[in-house]
């Protein structure tokens, strides 16, 4: 009797204490007990405004690289490698190509002849001098079908026979068809310049294998874990203070973290800079003096795609009906609040190919959608299955869209698949949520995704008129004339293609406030050689 009383008393006491403890320890709102920030928000440069040298930059990267030949990289893991081996040009936030291993270039009137002038006096980190032989070897390598590089698709207007060596530092390219946007193809993750003969195994872990002209050398590499880069003392580009770049001594890149870990790492000073996902942005913004958050609108899209070559989507009325059910503003607010609204063409408003004059902002119209479906032979609505990969915001996108479509009699069954299973056959799904990173210019993406029979044409859309317009635009060097063509291209995509695009997805960068970043970011922030630390 007595022990029973004692037991129940103990139990109640412990429980009460627990509940009290839980209620008093609320979520971190006004006063997070985070460590004191070391630098104040204002001074992002030293007093003299000059860069500060030294220090170690710590970051993480979602996917660690592993390709033996970075030219075959199809997933983007190789972005990190661009700090060791450079590309011929680089493109900043303003979408203008700038010299890197190319000193300058000229293009003929008809955009079929490109003359590339290489930088002189550059050496690879194995002491080999950089010259035209290396560039030619790389082009041949990219175009070689046995290699299987995505560069072959991006450079499909060039044949191996069209590459001419003029002299030690000049290469001429004779294109099969005109293309005014060549430079943008020379700036993607598979376009690192290898020494003539190529790499044996770039990410073997042996620093001697990671040969490049870049600002950093590989010090160590543990697969899927960690990569350490150290300053290349013989780097050829100078910083703002007249000394060779980079400013930092070391970069430590660790394999991708999940969102909770990223949050903890930034707040706990374990990382200096990284790319967080949408889920933790609001939390990161609660530390304004300590953490800077940047938003990048890169043209990344996660469209709902239909197979334009299969019923029911081969009927343009069905396609447009599916576009008309969207309340774009609402979808954006629920799924991607920080991104711009999209209007079914995949051209961001910042892109040179964007045409404001012909951009139609079609509002939600359920009646019209129903009417179109009835006309196409589906008076009682239609049943569809939507496939998508798991993770991030695509799931909520699918849910919201499903509910909106239901009002027009379109009943959607959502099928969420594990990422690898989905992407393994991404070109085969009839109705699915896809993804495409932004490319500059947007016409590169249009080429890759909407030309008849192109490699990444997941909607299997084929419109000869569009192809003809794209060819013409490629060949037109005059900017005004090209703009007119872009307007027509945009209209076709908006009215006829098989994409449902209510928003552009946004990528984020977050850094400690004592990290000075270059103002002209690109590639989601891998310009480590232009970054410096203030402490």
Which stretches of the chain bind another protein, using CB under 8 A?
3, 6-7, 10-11, 14, 25, 28, 32-35, 66, 68, 72, 74, 145-146, 148-150, 152-153, 222-226, 252, 254-255, 257-258, 260-261, 263-265, 267-268, 270-271, 418-420, 424, 455
| Closest distance to another protein from the beta carbon of 420 (Å) | 6
Least Cβ distance, residue 35 to another protein (angstroms): 5
The token duo for 118 is 């290489």
Shortest distance, position 106 Cβ to another protein, whole Å: 31
CB of 531 to another protein, least distance (A): 21
The CB-of-261 to another protein minimum distance in angstroms stands at 5
- The contacts of residue 66 (CB under 8 Å, 6+ apart) are 77, 203, 223, 224
Query: Nearer to another protein by C-beta: 153 or 395?
Result: 153
Core vs surface per residue 256-278: b (16+ CB within 10 A) or e: ebeeeebbebbbeeebbbbbbeb
SS3 of residue 154 by DSSP: helix
Q: With respect to another protein, which residue has the nearer C-beta, 239 or 389?
A: 389
State how far the Cα of 349 lies from the Cα of 535, in Å rounded to an integer.
38
Residue 207 structure tokens: 């620093």
Helix (H) / strand (E) element for 104: namely: strand 102-107
Among 411, 409, 424, 417, which Cα is nearest to 387's? 417
Between 169 and 432, name the residue whose CB sits nearer to another protein.
432
- How far apart are the C-alpha atoms of 244 and 236, rounded to whole Å? 7
Cis-peptide into 312, omega within 30 deg = yes
Q: Rounded to the nearest 10 degrees, how much is the dihedral formed by the CA atoms of 373, 374, 378, 382?
A: 40
Residue placing its CB nearer to another protein in the complex, 113 or 269: 269
| Neighbour-count burial for 351-388, b at 16+ CB within 10 Å, e otherwise | bbbbbeeebeebebbbebbbbbbeebebeeebebebbb
Q: Considering the complex, state which of residue 267 and residue 470 has its C-beta at the smaller distance from another protein.
A: 267
Minimal distance, residue 426 CB to another protein, in Å = 9
Angle between helices 316-324 and 366-375 (to 10 degrees): 160
Q: Which two tokens stand for residue 50?
A: 């000059």
173/161 Cα distance (integer angstroms): 9
The answer to whether the CB of 103 falls within 8 A of the CB of 131 is no
In sequence order, the 6+-apart residues with CB closer than 8 A to the CB of 212 are 81, 84, 85, 86, 124, 125, 192, 193, 194
Sequence-separated contacts (24+) of 30-39 with Cβ below 8 Å? 32/267, 32/286, 32/287, 34/267, 34/268, 34/287, 34/290, 35/268, 35/269, 37/287, 37/289, 37/290, 37/513, 37/514, 38/514, 38/535, 39/513, 39/514, 39/534, 39/535
Residue 21 carries which DSSP code?
A: H
- Closer residue to another protein in complex, CB, 196/269: 269
Which residue, 268 or 311, is less far from another protein as judged by CB?
268
In whole angstroms, the minimum distance from the beta carbon of 24 to another protein comes to: 12
State in angstroms the smallest separation of the CB of 411 from another protein.
30
Please, what is the angle between helix 464-475 and helix 442-450, to 10°? 150
In the bound complex, what is the minimum distance in angstroms from residue 513's beta carbon to another protein?
Answer: 17
Q: How far is the CB of 71 from another protein (least distance, A)?
A: 10
Give the nearer residue to another protein in terms of CB position, either 10 or 234: 10
Q: In the block, which residue shows the tokens 């008809």?
A: 110
Shortest separation between residue 254's beta carbon and another protein, angstroms: 5
Nearer of residues 142 and 169 to another protein, judged by Cβ: 142
Asked if 338 and 505 touch (Cβ cutoff 8 Å), the reply is no
Nearer of residues 18 and 240 to another protein, judged by Cβ? 18
Closest CB 159 distance from another protein, rounded Å: 17
Between 68 and 368, CB nearer to another protein: 68
Can you tell me the distance from the alpha carbon of 257 to that of 305, in angstroms, rounded to the nearest whole number?
30
Is 163 or 265 the residue whose CB approaches another protein more closely?
Answer: 265
CB 190, min distance to another protein, A: 9
Instruction: Give the residue with the Cβ less far from another protein, 145 or 356.
Output: 145
CB of 66 to another protein, least distance (A): 5
**Closer to another protein at the Cβ: 377 or 391?**
391
């Amino acid at each position: 009797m007595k022990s029973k009383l004692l037991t129940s008393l103990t139990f109640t006491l412990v429980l009460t204490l627990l509940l009290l403890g839980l209620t008093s320890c609320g979520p971190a709102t006004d006063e997070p007990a985070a460590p004191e920030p070391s630098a104040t928000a204002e001074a992002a440069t030293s007093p003299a405004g000059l860069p500060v040298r030294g220090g170690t930059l710590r970051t993480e990267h979602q996917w660690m690289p592993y390709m033996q030949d970075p030219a075959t990289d199809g997933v983007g893991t190789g972005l990190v490698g661009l700090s060791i081996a450079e590309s011929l040009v680089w493109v900043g936030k303003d979408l203008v190509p700038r010299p890197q291993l190319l000193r300058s270039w000229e293009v003929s009137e008809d955009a079929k002849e490109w003359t590339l002038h290489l930088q002189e006096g550059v050496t690879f980190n194995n002491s080999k001098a950089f010259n035209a032989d290396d560039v030619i070897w790389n082009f041949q390598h990219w175009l070689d079908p046995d290699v299987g590089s995505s560069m072959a698709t991006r450079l499909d207007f060039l044949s191996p026979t069209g590459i001419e060596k003029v002299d030690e530092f000049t290469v001429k390219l004779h294109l099969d068809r005109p293309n005014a946007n060549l430079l943008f193809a020379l700036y993607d993750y598979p376009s690192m310049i290898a020494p003539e003969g190529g790499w044996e195994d770039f990410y073997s872990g042996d620093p001697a294998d990671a040969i490049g002209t870049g600002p950093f050398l590989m010090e160590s590499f543990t697969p899927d874990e960690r990569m350490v880069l150290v300053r290349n003392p013989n780097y050829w580009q100078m910083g703002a203070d007249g000394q060779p770049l980079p400013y930092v001594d070391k970069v430590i890149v660790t394999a991708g973290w999940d969102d909770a870990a990223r949050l903890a790492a930034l707040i706990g000073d374990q990382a200096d800079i990284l790319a967080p996902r949408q889920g933790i942005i609001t939390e990161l913004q609660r530390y304004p003096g300590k953490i800077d958050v940047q938003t990048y609108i890169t043209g990344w899209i996660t469209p709902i795609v239909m197979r334009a070559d299969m019923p029911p989507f081969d009927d343009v009325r069905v396609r447009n009906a599916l576009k008309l059910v969207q309340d774009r503003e609402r979808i954006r607010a629920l799924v991607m609040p920080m991104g711009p609204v999209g209007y079914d063409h995949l051209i961001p408003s910042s892109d040179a190919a964007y045409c404001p004059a012909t951009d139609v902002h079609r509002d939600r119209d359920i009646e019209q959608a129903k009417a179109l479906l009835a006309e196409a032979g589906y008076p009682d609505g239609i049943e569809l299955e939507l496939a998508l990969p798991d993770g991030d915001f695509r799931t909520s996108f699918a849910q919201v869209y499903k509910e909106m479509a239901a009002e027009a009699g379109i009943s959607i069954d959502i099928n969420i698949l594990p990422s690898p299973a989905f992407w393994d056959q991404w070109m085969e799904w009839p109705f699915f949520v896809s993804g495409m990173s932004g490319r500059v210019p947007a016409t590169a993406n249009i080429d890759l995704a909407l030309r008849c029979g192109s490699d990444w044409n997941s909607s299997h859309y084929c419109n000869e008129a569009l192809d003809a317009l794209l060819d013409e635009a490629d060949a037109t060097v005059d900017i005004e004339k090209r703009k007119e063509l872009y307007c027509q291209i945009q209209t076709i995509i908006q009215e006829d293609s098989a994409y449902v695009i209510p928003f552009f997805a946004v990528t984020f960068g977050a850094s400690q406030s004592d990290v000075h970043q270059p103002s002209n970011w690109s590639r989601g922030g891998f310009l480590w050689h232009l970054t410096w630390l203030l402490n």
